[in-house]
A = this chain, B = another copy of it.
Amino acid sequence: MEDYNRILDDILHTVNSVDTPGNVASYIPELAKIDPFKFGVSLQFVNGETYNAGDYDERFSIQSISKVFTLSMAIQCIGDKVWDRVDVEPSGDPFNSLVQLEHEEGIPRNPFINSGAIVICDILLSELENPKDDYLQFMHDLQGSDKIQYNEEVFKSEKSMGYRNVAMANFIKSFKNIHNKPEDVLDFYFYTCSLDMSCVELAWCFQLFAQHGKCAPDGTLFLEPNQIKRINALMLTCGFYDESGEFAFRVGLPGKSGVGGGIAAVLPGEFSIAVWSPKLNEKGNSAKGMHALELFTTHTEKSIF
């Protein structure tokens, strides 16, 4: 039997002994000031066994990992109608590209690039009574506690700096694929990105995707297995911007990254895993995080392939 504590410790040791190149996200001050050498990991099997290492308990900004949660909520709300508004193909372009959006007349390539997530937030704004409260409640239900909160400094900074997202939302609106006011959609979008969570909390919430739609705290079915299958497929093909192929190739797990340096991934039916390290590679994904996950799946031979 594998000694997962030791495997995680070895990985921690290996990634910390390498001088990984890369830079902490700097477009807002709250992200820029994080210690670049942080590294944490939490591995949680579906039977409840949990293994942690490093800064696994420290909260960081989940950023784009939120896109998986908002997509899940949107599917809860309107089911397959989500796919009339966003496509399910990899983009092959950087995460904030407007090029494809122009060629494809306002239908984002998938829900995990910014344009797609903004459309998902527009859906939620139309469907939910109190979008921000309902989103936080969804996270609290997944977590089985109300400790997850949004970070107001991050939220405000994002709002004040996000010219490109303002461009994106107005551009999609010009194609009529946003129904609410662009500024309201963005206000909610930035809110969803500004949650602070730890590796332990993220891996716990990602049990939803490891357990075929069952919520970890109480086993409630949040989404149908077939819906989770599709979200997992999307994470695999589109979860890492234009490095999704590389991640599938090297790691081989469905997952989602954020510019805060977090990555959450699952092996359906077996485990969820969350890593965090703030330095990003040139594609915007956590450099040490990708390295750690590659070491993990290569060593344990636990991947979907």
Contact = CB atoms under 8 A, between A and B. Distances in A.
Interface stretch (A10-18, A145-153, A189-197, A232-240): A232-240
A173 B229 CA distance: 40
A6 B204 CA distance: 40
A89 B244 contact: yes
- Chain B CB count within 10 A is highest, among A91, A99, A233, for A233
A249 interface: yes
Given A228-B305, A233-B252, A170 B173 contact: no
Contacts of A244: 89-90, 237
Contacts of A91: 92
A171 B164 contact: yes
A90 B237 contact: yes
A182 to B, nearest CB: 7
Interface stretch (A35-43, A62-70, A126-134, A296-304): A296-304
A256 to B, nearest CB: 14
Identical chains in the assembly: 4
- Chain B CB count within 10 A is highest, among A91, A163, A167, A236, for A167
B301 A243 contact: no
A167 B174 contact: yes
A230 interface: yes
Contact of A237 (B93, B100, B236): B236
A245 interface: yes
A230 B252 CA distance: 8
B98 A102 contact: yes
A84 to B, nearest CB: 14
Given A163-B170, A171-B163, A305-B268, A245 B98 contact: no
B230 A249 contact: yes
Contacts of A93: 92
Contact of A164 (B164, B170, B238, B252): B170
A288 interface: no
